[in-house]
Structure 1
Amino acid sequence: MNNYLYSINSDSIKFLEKYLNEFSPTGDESEGQKIWINHISSYVEKIQTDLYGTAVGIINPNSPYKLIIEAHVDEISWCVNYITEEGIIYVSRNGGSDHQIAPSKIVIIHTEKGLVHGVFGWPAIHTRKSSEEKSPNIDNIFVDIGVSNKAEAMNMGVHVGCIITYPDKFFIMNHNYFVSRALDNKIGGFIIAEVAKMIIENGIDLKFGLYIVNSVQEEVGLKGAKMISKTIQPNVVIVTDVTHDTYGPMIDKKIQGDVKCGLGPVIGYAPSIHKNVRELIISTAKNRKIHFQRLVSSRYTGTDTDAFAYSNKGVLSGLISIPLKYMHTTVEMVHKKDVEQAVLLIFETLQTINNNKSIFH
């Protein structure tokens, strides 16, 4: 039995940084998806995409047995919803964008004429009466692009429906933490691409078809996963996504679970997670001495696992998550060690399946 090792190298960091920094808002994921496709194309035999932009890299495409490892590419954003006569822009959510972090953030509006910069403004503290203090909410946050009226804004290409994103960039904090917007769930796309890379670099002869899937539109209802599952009709799916680190302030572990960055990937328990897949992942982790954590989702996981599990005639589905701090903000954080252990756990799980294909029967 080979003792495989994995650590993130400088080339992988370059890919991760480029991938995270590119925009891929829900419904318009193409630019981020291009970077992922270009990277993974070196490690797969075939690439395919569907009408809405989900990308699939395939190893051993002619096998009757089909196993998916999956992440999602889309990131949360905003949309222009209303422009006042004074040129102030009000927004609607595109995914689960957090209104409380918006004030004072720089934004980019994507228009047919190019990118337009703006800011989420907020009244100065001097002008607010304590008796009338208001908290940011979806009804009162607004974007200022430095125009005097609606006509100026529209002449710049801004109109209802334009997507608004944050420009915040990737960086590494104290050698251990990756910090970026869109780690939910581009870190998953990075992980599954690294798994494909490990398979090729270690000369693994897969006995099943491996479909490395980067889905679109997860943030608005798992829609990309629903579509691609019908296309591929897999036998088994292993989804990777993020979950909450619960050791930060104001989080109740009794409700949110006991999960901490740096202690390993998280193996999920939920109705959509099939016991056989979960136990196979757990036994692999124990046999290979890979540290892991556990998390219960009582009704649904809120990830693409739910879409795959109940698609077609039912698909054996499992979930491996990465602990994440500050989800749906521009400073999401994951621990480097958790990412490395997740890559190794998925790779070793595929090895376990390769040596005993009973999961397909």
Structure 2
Amino acid sequence: MDKKSAHFLKKYLNNASPTGFERSGQEIWLEYLKPYVNEYMTDTYGTVVGIINPKAEYKVVIEAHADEISWFVNYITDDGYIYVRRNGGSDHQIAPSKRVDIHTAKGIKKGIFGWPAIHVRNHNSEEKPTLKNIFVDVGCTSREEVEELGIHVGCVMTFDDELITLNDQYLTGRALDNRIGGYMIAEVARRISENKEKLPFGLYVVNAVQEEVGLRGAQMIAERIKPDVAIVTDVCHDTTSPMYDKKESGYQKAGEGPVLTYGPAVHNNLLNMLIEVADSTKVPFQRAAASRATGTDTDAFAYSNRGVASALISLPLKYMHTTVETVHKSDVENIIKLMHAFLIQLKSGYDFRYIK
């Protein structure tokens, strides 16, 4: 990772991009991507697409999602405390003692998830954090004082945490799910551009919104692009960290390479091509199986436009949907390498149908 990539990654990951409010993150991403694509487009809800060879008939997508989990202000008490509801799959159990940024028309306002001291909780039946009892303190003593800050029902809030490294091998922070994916697909476009490689098809580098609430951005943009092929990248669980059941969740470990998923939405011919490319380029990879759906934007692309050959390349991640999501740097590099190598060898018009 050179200085330019590292600067972009830090700026992009430290920026807040909650579901439904992705604009600022998308602007950062697009600013970095523009020099490496021929043109770009955006849709009504904020998905951004960089395009190489926009006039080509055969269309290939590489995709990640831009949004992060967050909270909404749901209720403000008379004495100035704020109760919340989820925006995406936010974890109420990690909230107490966390700092938050509340996004308002008057700028970001700071708050904290308060919690009673251990001294005063009933140790025989200790109350646990739930959506009914976690609350945010913004230093006010009345609803009116809170509202004077510009905070109202519907304001979105994100945890106040920034990117760090662990042992110079791991990246740790909030929202690696899945802005690290946005970083990886942008780096693929950069390599194609800087290597002056000519693609025989149109490449659509897609950073989709609203994945965390049901793959909504991918559904919208898939119908607009109508691609022939889609390679989606997202995160999956590192199941070797404590408290995972490998018999249920399988074996995936950070540092051992990208994870290639088998499942109904994943096209086997496309998956086999990815495996062949990984073998030929000596990219280590792992395997996973999905029951019914992958739960990623892969599903949205696969079942759009009368069916799109789609595959999923996942990045093993520890501690998903926390503020300390952790990935191995080598896996990030290997996903970029695999996507890049796949695109370079793909022929325009390749027919992935099972029966011809």
Scaled to the shorter chain, the TM-score interval is over 0.9
Say if 2:340 is the partner of 1:340: no
Structure 1: stretches of 5+ with no match in the other structure:
1-7
CA offset at residue 358 of structure 1? 4.2
CA RMSD of aligned residues (A): 1.2
Deviations 1:258-313 (A, max 9, x none): 00000000001111001111111011101111100001011111100011111120
Q: In the alignment, what sits opposite 1:282? A: 275
* Distance across 1 between alignment mates of 2:299 and 2:18: 22
Deviations 1:99-151 (A, max 9, x none): 11100000111111121111000000111112341111111110011111111
Structure 1 counterpart of 2:142, from 139, 149, 156: 149
Of the structure 1 ranges 224-233 and 121-130, higher mean CA displacement relative to structure 2 is found in: 121-130
Q: In the alignment, what sits opposite 2:60? A: 67
Q: Classify the secondary structure of the residue corresponding to 1:17.
A: helix
Alignment of 1:78-97 (within 5 A): 78-97=71-90
Distance 1:356 1:154, change over 3 A: closer
Q: Which residue identity lines up with residue 297 of structure 2 in the other structure?
A: D
Q: In the alignment, what sits opposite 1:237? A: 230
Q: Classify the secondary structure of the residue corresponding to 2:25.
A: helix
Q: In the alignment, what sits opposite 2:201? A: 208
8 Å Cα contact 2:219/2:300 also seen in 1: yes
Deviations 1:195-237 (A, max 9, x none): 0011111111100000000000000000000000010000000
Q: In the alignment, what sits opposite 2:122? A: 129
Say if 2:216 is the partner of 1:223: yes
CA offset at residue 355 of structure 1? 7.8
Q: In the alignment, what sits opposite 1:112? A: 105
Distance 1:355 1:112, change over 3 A: closer
* Distance across 1 between alignment mates of 2:3 and 2:167: 16
8 Å Cα contact 1:353/1:359 also seen in 2: no
Aligned sequence identity (%): 56
Question: What is the total number of aligned residue pairs between the two structures?
Answer: 354
Q: In the alignment, what sits opposite 1:316? A: 309
CA offset at residue 159 of structure 1? 0.7
Deviations 1:85-110 (A, max 9, x none): 11110000000001111000001111
Structure 1 counterpart of 2:299, from 297, 306, 316: 306
Say if 2:32 is the partner of 1:50: no
Q: Classify the secondary structure of the residue corresponding to 1:351.
A: helix
Structure 2 counterpart of 1:103, from 91, 96, 121: 96
* Distance across 2 between alignment mates of 1:153 and 1:110: 13
Q: Which residue identity lines up with residue 168 of structure 1 in the other structure?
A: D
8 Å Cα contact 1:260/1:323 also seen in 2: yes
Structure 2: stretches of 5+ with no match in the other structure:
none
Q: Structure 1 length as normaliser, TM-score?
A: 0.96
Structure 1 counterpart of 2:260, from 255, 259, 267: 267
* Distance across 2 between alignment mates of 1:175 and 1:166: 24
Deviations 1:293-337 (A, max 9, x none): 001011111100011111120111000000000000011001000
* Distance across 1 between alignment mates of 2:100 and 2:173: 15
